[in-house]
Chain A
Amino acid sequence: MSLLSVEDLVVDHRSPDRPPVRAVAGVGLTVEPGEVVGLVGESGCGKSTLARAICGITAPTSGSIDFEGRPVGPLGLRRRDPALTRIQMVFQDPFASLNPRRRVGRQIADGLRGDATPGELLERVGLDADMAGRYPHEFSGGQRQRIAIARAIAAQPSLLIGDEPISALDASAQAQVAGLMRALAVESGAGLLFISHDLSVVRLIADRIAVMYLGKIVETGPTAEVWDDPKHPYTRALLAAIPEPDGSGTLPAELPGDVPNPAAPPSGCRFHPRCPHVMDVCSVREPVPRDGVACWLYDSAEPAAE
């Protein structure tokens, strides 16, 4: 049994006097204990909505989310089922992830399990134990993010989710914080779902990568395979667009066009209007994931036109 198993999840954002926007349009995803899964995709692809649905902040429209065999329901008025507090999340904005009016030690103690002290947890994330008495404004962004991680791991989670936890940090802190999250999750046997738009960092820490485009996962596979031999044209475009700091002055490849409006997604494969390998079938029928890739290019069974 997987630690986390998401099946056919659909999440709609509803707002009055506008059609609902389908942010997540049927996603299946699993995370095993001790596994680090990197979820990548561009802004607006629904990766954050997926993360929020998994920990119950956003209510799904349909589909199922099972954590350690029990369904995850949305947060209600009462306190959360203690079994579900084993899912913890580290958020994007280090300046919003801590209460500015409480000492960090007390915040770390909020969900504390076991006999570790806030000071010890601070040490585990690479800070000094005696910083527990300080307020959040006395720390830098990178330090705050470490404190947010300490707060999350204090609850001894078996699934840790990072929702763009490094994108607001300085370049030098990014790799460190990402590495820290991996190390803490792996050593405690927890699963880590690490969400980022930065493939080059995800590549460093993830065992498996899932690539999301417009509410769907288009490709998933072991990190090295996806990096070395990306199958889906979108994954390829994403990798080719990363500028390399090699000093050669090579301009990264451009992916023409804009991300379509998720309220009115294209027919068939959602990537077909921007795809360099578009075929007739692509605009008609949606590809089914096969060996981790949802693309007609890799569907050996000849598609029957409708």
Chain B
Amino acid sequence: MIRRLPEAWRRPLAVTGLVVTAAWLIVVVAAPLLAPYDPLAQKFPRLRPPGGEHWFGTDDLGRDVLSRVLYGARLSIPLTLLLVALSVVIGGLLGACAGYFGRWVDETIMRVADLVFAFPTVILAMAVAASLGASLRNAVLAVLVVSWPAYARVTRGLVLGLRTREFVLSGRLLGFSVWRSLRTDVVPNVAGPVLVLATLDIGTQLLLLSGLSFLGLGAKPPTAEWGAMVASATQVFDKWWVGVFPGLAILTVVLAFNFLGDTLRDALDPRTARAIKERAL
């Protein structure tokens, strides 16, 4: 697997994804050093277009848009990563149990997952967030509720295929308990595809989380959150810079993680890797 990595990672989209992701991660860590002003300070002239003093302009309350975008990264990116990690753990665990044990365990878990799948994701997330009360924490919970079933389903499918694989059976015959079998034979072979799904999912979940904030169901003003910033920009539609820059921030993060996910998938899937190689020749 390691030997296949370089070819897939050398493609332009992969490099773009890596560079943009790395840049955003630096912003997450160093936002206070990079931001020229306090993101919450309302001390500047309102709705100033981008210029020398305010590169991204100022918003309707006289705050520096650049600083708010940079601080927004501190909120959105780590939160989304945490969200995806939780979805993977919850969905993966439930899916693995459903696939390995089958029967009523499988029935129960997958029917609940189907229930979630039966509703449009955004609407269900909105309903959950609204019923829990509008706050960033509840928005995260709402996204979690709609995102775990995808992992459960994928993991279940993979485990179902693995459970009857011959090396898993022969491990059991050699005296592995169910837990040891899951740990040594099943999980390591499921991890790759789930990781790919998770990376591709980071963008979707960031979008969903920002979307909830955009609708007023997540972060509350004056928090610097990208979705909420785009929402407030709708009040001053002719001042494009207020909404475009946080929007671009969302766009670049989503794209970068999608590129990473695609690359990871190609790198882990030997068939695609071969195709890349042949195209290169």
Contact = CB atoms under 8 A, between A and B. Distances in A.
Task: Tell me if chains A and B make direct contact, with any CB pair below 8 A.
Answer: yes
Interface of A: 55-57, 75, 77-80, 82, 85, 87-89, 91-93, 96-102, 107, 110-111, 148, 151-152, 155
Interface in B146-195: 165-178, 180, 184-185, 188-189
A133 to B, nearest CB: 15
Main secondary structure of the interface of B (DSSP, over half): helix
Q: Which of B167, B172, B173, B177 has the most CB of A within 10 A?
A: B173
Interface centre among B169, B174, B177, by most chain A C-beta atoms within 10 angstroms, is B174
B103 to A, nearest CB: 11
Given A79-B180, A101-B188, A57 B169 contact: yes
Given A77-B178, A79-B180, A102-B184, A92 B166 contact: yes
Contacts of A96: 165-167
Contacts of A97: 166-167, 170
Interface in B116-172: 165-172
Given A93-B166, A98-B167, A88 B189 contact: no
A88 B177 contact: no
A79 B175 contact: yes
B102 to A, nearest CB: 12
Contacts of A99: 167-168, 171, 184-185, 188-189
A100 B166 contact: no
Interface residues of B, number: 19
A20 to B, nearest CB: 17
A300 to B, nearest CB: 44
B273 to A, nearest CB: 13
Most buried by A among B166, B170, B177, B185: B170
B193 to A, nearest CB: 13
A75 B170 CA distance: 11
Q: Which secondary structure dominates where chain A touches chain B?
A: loop
Nearest to A96: B166
A79 B169 contact: no
Interface in B100-125: none
Candidate in A75, A88, A152 with the most chain B CB atoms within 10 angstroms: A75
Contact of A100 (B170, B178, B189): B189
A152 B170 contact: yes
Contacts of B188: 99, 101-102
Contact of A148 (B165, B170, B180): B170
B175 A80 contact: yes
Contacts of B180: 79
Contacts of B172: 57, 75, 80
A85 B173 contact: yes
- Which 5 pairs between the two chains have the least Cβ-Cβ distance? A111-B174, A91-B166, A79-B177, A97-B166, A96-B166
A26 B166 CA distance: 26
Contact of B174 (A77, A85, A93, A98): A85
Nearest to B166: A91
Which of A80, A99, A148, A155 counts the most B-chain CB atoms under 10 A from its CB?
Answer: A99
Interface in B238-260: none
B175 A82 contact: yes
A96 B171 CA distance: 12
B189 A101 contact: yes
Contacts of B165: 96
A89 B170 contact: yes
B94 to A, nearest CB: 18
